[in-house]
Structure 1
Amino acid sequence: MTVDEGTIVARAISDGQDRLLSADEPLAALQLRCGGDIPGMIAVPELLDLVGRARRACVRMTQAISAQDGNDAITFWVEADPEGEGCAIVVRSWQTAALISEDGAVAEERRVAIDRQIAELTAWLDSGQRLIAANTDCSELAPLADAMAQGVGRCWTDFLQPENVTHQQPLHWRLLDGGPVVFAGSSRPWRVSLIPQIRPGFEPSGFELLLLSDQAPSDCVAIPQAAAPVPPRGLVGQDLAPVLKQPIARIVANAETIRTRLAGPLPDAYAEYAGEIAGAGKLLLDLLDDMADLEVVEADSFSTTADYIDLSDVARQAAGILGVRAREKGISITTPAPADSAPALAEFRRVLQVLLNLIGNAIRYSPEGTSVDVRVDVNGDRARAIVADEGPGLSLEEQGRVFEKFERLGRSGDGGSGLGLYISRRLARAMNGELSIESAPGQGARFILEVPLDPEG
């Protein structure tokens, strides 16, 4: 029902502890359906906040209140007037409207975001569900990640056995997505999430595989990557990150559940609060990853292991991993043609890490509807990967600062830590290479990764 703004719909009385002592309908019914009692603590969060502030300040306060009642959204105007130890509450302009359910595509995006935050192992697959790379920070999964890294080119189901499936693998990815899997070395229940890299009307060009468990590990510590020497013990990477990442990931997952109203109806304001919590949690997780990488690359003993790679292949893989993010922003990525070749001697995982950072930055800072060009070439005894964008470009002074630690060139609110390019240059130099930039204001930027050429490639 709808009542004119000047009409009093209901009256109520609260005490000095913000308990509702008495209330007229329909406020009384809403109090009960929200889990409260009369007398009892005010059960509508926004109303509780308003009454508490008015009581403590001893000032009459008014505010529009939103609440959910089953499948209905309720909006009403409240006047809270301090009286005695509590408040006299007047309700006006009571309005009811049906809740609008969230679009299915949006809900799926939220599910994927939650899965990415709580995944304990991430792998990247080609269009045939064959392994490209795998990564984990959990010691329990270290043997599995090592085996998958050694098994590049094999189907992921050779390492993660789908439960209760006897058909020849791989099945269609939709039949495997979300299904339980088992593997040696863990008694926890596990499931996989397969995220396709896909364009409408086409088959997936690759997949992101997430390994998840709803049961927290009893003892999960960060591990050194298999291909690199073990660095000295670091405070963040080996002590803080493993302790903090799991609870922060759970906070993010729960906040996303609240924000998307998967746990039940919620006012828009509180859904926005939950979204801010989830966003802050994701920033913390990214910062922990960057700080752990920073410890590794700044260690005196840090070095890389040279692999025989082709920068063209690695560039296409990096672009494929970030394809969904680019399409969400309306940005196209041009990758090296299959015939292009730049054979190199450099560590595959570190080159992939650098290119993911460069392409990710290009997507983040480029205007919607532009393109990012990724190409490779050979220059003397160097193999080069070049990432060019159509962003705002950088001045000479900014180019001199862009590789400094924690440097963000005055940008705020973009989620970056200011460590990505610093770490990427350290990685390039550890591989006897270099990372440089060519740019001008208004003309975009070209980041050039150089690593030693494979003379026999």
Structure 2
Amino acid sequence: MNHPVHGRLDAGLRLVETDAALASLHARAGGEPQGVIAVPQLAQVARLARRLGVAISRGVVAADGEGEAALWVRAAPDGNGVRLSIVAWTERQPASAPAIEQDFLRAEADLTWEADAALRLTAMWPAPPVPGLVGEPVTRAFTLLPDATGALPLVEAMAEQRAFDGQPAEFRAAGGAPLLLAGTPLFDTAGRLRGFRGTAVPRSPAPPETTPAAGQGDAFATRLGEVLKAPLDRIIRLADAIGARDEGPLRRDYAGYAADIATASRHLLALVGDLVDLSAIERPDFQPERGPIDLADLARRAAGLLAIRALNGEVRIDPPKVDETLSAIGEYRRVLQILVNLVGNAVRYSPPGSAVWLRGEAAGAEVRLTVADQGKGIAPEDQVRIFDKFERVDPDEPGGTGLGLYISRRLARAMDGDLTVDSAPGQGARFTLILPAG
């Protein structure tokens, strides 16, 4: 491209003025008109210019369809925003990237990905529900969202060529499922950044904002979650990096200690998320949103999010068939939260070599989705108390926080549905989510 291309970002890094070429690149990266700039490399330069308060010029490489665009970008502060000028724009074919190392596929990661220096996906495992994402920009798979401080950790990590964690995102290929991204930079033999390798794990949907009637307990729980999540995310990332031997060889017992630290920290992080959820759903004014959903589709998405965990436990998940639909009424994210909890429990308590089935059916004014496992089952006297707060069938067995089933049933009933269990010792467990038919 021989002529300069211009654009302007406002204080929120939204592309409010743009030439056609930049608008097209923004759209191909998954951006919306007047939305936050979707090309992370341009956002990186813009944020740096705004933070330093001076004009910055540098070369960047961005994914663009099947190729990549080499850009020379000048970003200059302009009031509360940033003005961009691209004075050189060259289209070229991407360099090949090495395959993902198998030792990075850790048991606690529900999705793994790798991207090149242009932030184009070079690997994703397990395969996403929408084919063709590999080779596309990261922003085609994930919508990046600001964290609690308003920053984009992935963008800042690119600028400083360092690891990152706690990047809120939505998985476009799973209908906007909330995730947290973390990643580690990859360098070539000359020390040049060649991309990132990272994980994506489910993120609890944000609870409704605290209102004046919510009470001090709600505000405390929400604030507690905000304060604890960032350091716990960092502990998990560093422990994972140590356990994966990213920096070189490590004694096996030390790697084991790192894995134990990461597992314990994830357990604590899950408890924090459950406490925040608990404070929200127990408010007298709590009302989930309701709309038409496809319960069979959500079941398939929950199964996909937990595929790696199941694989590492040698458990097979059998979701509804691809062409199966089950129309219901409920809140998309809350129903997905319930199903992820049910499938996660089923995988956790299933023996190696067994299967977890997800089956749906319409029953008049209701629809039902059953998650069945081949675990040790639940005694009749325990089937009531497992839905109470902080109750588990076997408190001595490694597992969840004792809040998941309580929260799931409260959510189901808040959507005019229910959550039931049918089980017997030695015969597995069948949890059934019931919702109004759509």
Superposition TM-score, scaled by structure 2 size:
0.57
In the alignment, is residue 321 of structure 1 matched against residue 305 of structure 2? yes
**1:253 corresponding residue in structure 2:** 237
Secondary structure of the corresponding residue to residue 434 of structure 2:
strand
In the alignment, is residue 126 of structure 1 matched against residue 126 of structure 2? no
The 5-angstrom pairing of residues 7-156 of structure 1 reads 104-109=101-106, 126-129=130-133, 138=148, 140=150
Evaluate the alpha carbon distance shift between residue 238 and residue 154 of structure 1 in structure 2; reply closer, same or farther with a 3 A threshold. closer
The 5-angstrom pairing of residues 209-288 of structure 1 reads 224-225=206-207, 230=210, 232=214, 234-235=218-219, 237-288=221-272
Evaluate the alpha carbon distance shift between residue 152 and residue 443 of structure 1 in structure 2; reply closer, same or farther with a 3 A threshold. closer
In the alignment, is residue 443 of structure 1 matched against residue 427 of structure 2? yes
Report deviation, 1:404: 0.9
Report deviation, 1:242: 1.4
Report deviation, 1:411: 3.5
Secondary structure of the corresponding residue to residue 253 of structure 1:
helix
- Aligned-pair identity in percent equals 38
**1:381 corresponding residue in structure 2:** 365
- Computed over aligned residues only, the root mean square deviation of the Cα atoms, in angstroms, reads 4.2
Superposition TM-score, scaled by structure 1 size:
0.54
1:341 is matched by which residue type in structure 2?
Answer: T
**2:436 corresponding residue in structure 1:** 452
Evaluate the alpha carbon distance shift between residue 374 and residue 382 of structure 1 in structure 2; reply closer, same or farther with a 3 A threshold. same
Secondary structure of the corresponding residue to residue 383 of structure 2:
helix
1:407 to 376, 386, 391: 391
> Which 5+ residue runs of structure 2 have no aligned equivalent?
1-99, 114-127, 134-139, 153-167, 178-182, 187-194
- What is the CA–CA distance in structure 2 between the aligned matches of 1:382 and 1:132, rounded to whole Å? 33
**1:433 corresponding residue in structure 2:** 417
Report deviation, 1:235: 4.5
Evaluate the alpha carbon distance shift between residue 352 and residue 137 of structure 1 in structure 2; reply closer, same or farther with a 3 A threshold. farther
**1:30 corresponding residue in structure 2:** none
1:402 is matched by which residue type in structure 2?
Answer: I
1:106 is matched by which residue type in structure 2?
Answer: D
- What is the CA–CA distance in structure 2 between the aligned matches of 1:297 and 1:224, rounded to whole Å? 12
2:369 is matched by which residue type in structure 1?
Answer: A
- Per-residue displacement from partner, 1:183-241 (whole Å, max 9, x unpaired)? xxxxxxxx87676xxxxxxxxxxxx5899xxxxxxxxxx9945xx56553624542111
1:138 is matched by which residue type in structure 2?
Answer: A
- Per-residue displacement from partner, 1:156-195 (whole Å, max 9, x unpaired)? 9xxxxxxxxxxxxxxxxxxx9979xxxxxxxxxxx87676
The 8 Å contact of residues 368 and 434 in structure 2, kept in 1 or not, is answered as yes
The 8 Å contact of residues 137 and 223 in structure 1, kept in 2 or not, is answered as no
- What is the CA–CA distance in structure 2 between the aligned matches of 1:362 and 1:111, rounded to whole Å? 15
Secondary structure of the corresponding residue to residue 447 of structure 1:
strand
**2:57 corresponding residue in structure 1:** none
**1:41 corresponding residue in structure 2:** none
The 8 Å contact of residues 428 and 451 in structure 1, kept in 2 or not, is answered as yes
- Per-residue displacement from partner, 1:307-351 (whole Å, max 9, x unpaired)? 111111111111111112112222111121234332111111111
1:240 is matched by which residue type in structure 2?
Answer: L
Deviates further, 416-425 or 406-415: 406-415
Secondary structure of the corresponding residue to residue 384 of structure 2:
helix
In the alignment, is residue 424 of structure 1 matched against residue 412 of structure 2? no
Secondary structure of the corresponding residue to residue 109 of structure 1:
coil
- Aligned residues, how many? 291
Secondary structure of the corresponding residue to residue 385 of structure 1:
strand
Report deviation, 1:105: 1.8
Report deviation, 1:258: 3.0
1:320 is matched by which residue type in structure 2?
Answer: G
